Amino acid sequence: MHRLSFLFYLRSITAPAFRPSKPNFTPTPTPLAHYSVGRVTSRSNGRNNRGRAPGSRFNVKHDGVKDSNCRVSSNQPDEASIVDGSEDVDRFFHPTQSQHGQISLKRDANSSSKCTQSKHREKKRCTQSAIAVGSSYQQDKHISPAWCVGKDRSPNTERTCQHCTSPNRAVGNSSRQQNSLLGSADDTESHAHSSARLRSSQTPKNSQHQSYSPNLANVNQRDRPFISRAIPSPAGRTHNEQICSEKAADHLRIEHSEMLPMVVPFNIDQNKSESPFAPKPSLPAKNKEKRKELECFKRGEKLILRPGMVLLKKYISHTSQIKIIKKCQELGRGPGGFYQPHNRCGGKLCLQMMCLGKNWDSKMRSYGDRRSIDGAYPPSIPVEFKQLVEEAIRDSHAFIEQDLKLSDVEKVLPQMSPDICIVNLYTESGKLGLHQDQDESPESLRRELPVVSFSIGDSAEFLYGKNRKIKMANKVVLESGDVLIFGGDSRLIYHGVSRIIPKSAPSSLVKETNLRGRLNLTFREF
Ligand SMILES: O=C(O)CCC(=O)C(=O)O
Ligand SMILES: [Fe+2]
């Protein structure tokens, strides 16, 4: 009896351990797990769609579908137009897309900046200790090699509308509004033809603009460039260097060189830091992170985005930027100055435009000596602008030569002497649909003479790709002072501006010039 009761006692104390309650066997996700999943699906969009169902807010508009903001002429059902900056940008981050980045990115071999993968949700990885000097441009498997763009050309290629249009958007149709956008640095200057504009140019001079420096690091992970990785070979040369020499021997052969998609590993740190349970980073840690990001793209850094496409970060000095803005303000108020152009379909473009050297007719998509809207002759291109363009090409040559170990850099990026400059002024709502610059002379296109683009003022999200499919385009943030050059194999690259980042211009620039928005100057040789 005594032994029996002892046994019962024993059973009663051990039983619960062998009878776990059902929930213990059900793998219920913890809040952390939920959160992680949410981040995985939405991590590519750091702005405001966190936790939304994948694709729930992607508003893809196709050609042929009524689209009040933007019309891009195309018969291809697949081609999406840029409609709204935010929506378009979101589409780039659609989680169903490949996780591979798409931009081929190479950095200045001299750059010693060390960026690590950022923990910040929208500030992206700036890997580069492993960044290559070589040319194994890796591509998303969904898109054919980017350098095919130049080869896709055919005389029958349909010409695309160069700019997207938004009749409903208040870009400022009147010279009055437009002038105030450009700022009033030259308010006192009298100019026949522009009294109304001058009056209107008295914009608040003390508007507070925050300095904000978004850069490539702000581009989301899936949108990050492919970064060629240097794989050391036994001979001491990197894998990429080997490819480079081959490229030098036979430039075209690069088309068939190894193109392995670089799978960017998911950064578990990112989740950690974003977990609601993770401790908030301290201020010094945050500052350190920020410093790292800023280090990613220093003044003077050069990147080869793809063959024939070079980005010179913060290339134009502050002083030169001021001069350029003031010159554009001055010319923009005069005959042949800024106006809001129409596209082929009659819609208005989401920008103000002024041509220098030759006039580009946005409706006809052709160049001429005078513009049809008022018969005005375009002002000539200031000589300082031309000098800066030629310098930028020369510097790019030196970089390509050193980076790709090429002797004939002109094959990759031909030299050009600009006789056309299209100046675009974007307000915060400005944008430009994906298009090709292909209205220059057949000879200029045949020689693949580059387009040289200066960005000044607010930063822009610039898209480029081998076709007009926005979803497949690469994105890079162009900041004030950046120079982008695309010639050679990239001459006919599709490109556009999906969004202007408001108040991102350097505050000193804004103070000194009163520029609001973004100025973009594209130089070409007819
Ligand atoms: O604003 C930009 O960065 C691009 C402008 C452009 O592509 C053009 O004017 O053709
Ligand atoms: Fe363009």
> DSSP states of 322-343 as a string?
HHHHHHHHHHHHSTT--B--B-
- Residue 152, sorted as left (phi over 0), alpha (psi -120 to 50) or beta, turns out to be alpha
CA of 522 to the centre of ligand 1 (A): 6
Q: Is 422 in the pocket of ligand 1 (CB under 6 A)?
A: yes
Contact 496, 436 (CB under 8 A): no
| Closest ligand to Cα 519 | 1
The pLDDT score that the predictor gives to residue 83 is 33
Find the angle CA(219)-CA(223)-CA(228) to the nearest 5 degrees: 100
The response to whether residue 424 sits with its C-beta less than 6 Å from ligand 1 reads: yes
Tokens of 390: 């030629």
342 assigned binding-site residue: no
- Enter the CATH code of domain 175-213+316-524: 2.60.120.590
| Residues 476 and 498 sit within 8 Å (Cβ to Cβ) | no
Ligand 2 centroid to Cα of residue 401, in Å, is 26
Q: 496 CA to middle of ligand 1, Å?
A: 6
pLDDT of 170: 33
Q: Is 80 in the pocket of ligand 1 (CB under 6 A)?
A: no
Distance 520 CA to ligand 1 centre (A): 7
Hey, is 397 helix, strand or coil? Answer: helix
Q: Which atom of ligand 1 is nearest to the CA of 162?
A: 10
Cα distances (Å, whole numbers) of residue 222 to 21, 359, 497: 43, 39, 19
Return the residue whose CA atom lies nearest to atom 10 of ligand 1. Answer: 437
Q: Report the pLDDT value the prediction gives residue 459, as an integer from 0 to 100.
A: 97
For ligand 1, atom 8, name the residue with the nearest CA.
522
pLDDT on residue 440: 97
**In a 3-state reduction of DSSP, which class is residue 519?**
strand
* Ligand 1 atom at minimum distance from 478 CA: 3
Q: Is 439 in the pocket of ligand 1 (CB under 6 A)?
A: no
Say if strands 483-486 and 451-457 run parallel, antiparallel, or are unpaired: antiparallel
pLDDT at 300: 79
Contact predicate 423/520, CB 8 Å: yes
**419 marked among binding-site residues:** no
How far, in Å, is the centroid of ligand 1 from the Cα of 434?
9
pLDDT for position 2: 55
Contact predicate 134/233, CB 8 Å: no
- What's the pLDDT at 276? 52
Q: Is the CB of 432 under 6 A from ligand 1?
A: yes
Give the whole-angstrom CA distance, residue 422 versus residue 21: 72
Query: How many whole angstroms from 357 Cα to the centroid of ligand 1?
Result: 17
- 495 assigned to a ligand binding site: yes
3-state secondary structure 295-326: HHCCCCCEEEEECCEEEECCCCCHHHHHHHHH
Q: Tell me, what's the pLDDT at 522?
A: 98
Interface ipTM: 0.99
Distance CA 175, CA 196 (A): 8
Tens-level pLDDT at each residue, the chain (526 residues): 455 555 555 555 544 433 333 333 333 333 322 222 222 222 333 333 333 333 322 232 333 223 333 323 333 333 333 333 333 332 222 222 333 333 334 444 344 333 334 344 434 433 332 222 223 333 332 333 222 222 333 333 333 344 443 333 333 333 434 444 555 443 333 333 333 332 333 333 333 333 323 334 333 333 333 323 222 333 343 444 443 344 443 333 333 334 444 443 433 233 334 445 656 667 777 666 555 444 456 677 999 999 999 999 999 999 999 999 999 999 999 999 999 999 888 899 999 999 999 999 999 999 999 999 999 999 999 999 999 999 999 999 999 998 888 888 999 999 999 999 999 999 999 999 999 999 999 999 999 999 999 999 999 999 999 999 999 999 999 999 999 999 999 999 999 999 999 999 999 999 999 999 999 999 999 9
Q: How far is CA 438 from CA 227, 446, 449, 450, 493, in A?
A: 29, 10, 11, 11, 10
What's the pLDDT at 291?
Answer: 54
Rounded to 10 deg, the angle between the 318-333 and 175-182 helix axes is: 170
Q: Using a 6 Å cutoff on CB, does residue 220 contact ligand 1?
A: no
Neighbours of ion ligand 2 (CB under 5 A): 437
**If we measure between CA atoms, which residue out of 204, 250, 424, 442 comes closest to residue 328?**
424
pLDDT at 330 (0 to 100): 96
At residue 406, the pLDDT reads 84
pLDDT at 183: 54
Q: What would the 3-class secondary structure string for 57-75 be? A: CCCCCECCCCCCCCCCCCC
Regarding the beta carbon of 522 and ligand 1, being less than 6 Å apart is answered yes
CA 264 and chain centroid, separation: 19
What b/e readout covers 397-422, taking b as 16+ CB neighbours within 10 angstroms?
A: bebbeebbebeebebbbbbbebbbbb
Task: Tell me how far the alpha carbon of residue 28 lies from the centroid of ligand 2, in angstroms.
Answer: 52
CB of 221 sitting under 6 A from ligand 1: no
CA dihedral of residues 191, 195, 197, 198 (deg, nearest 10): 70
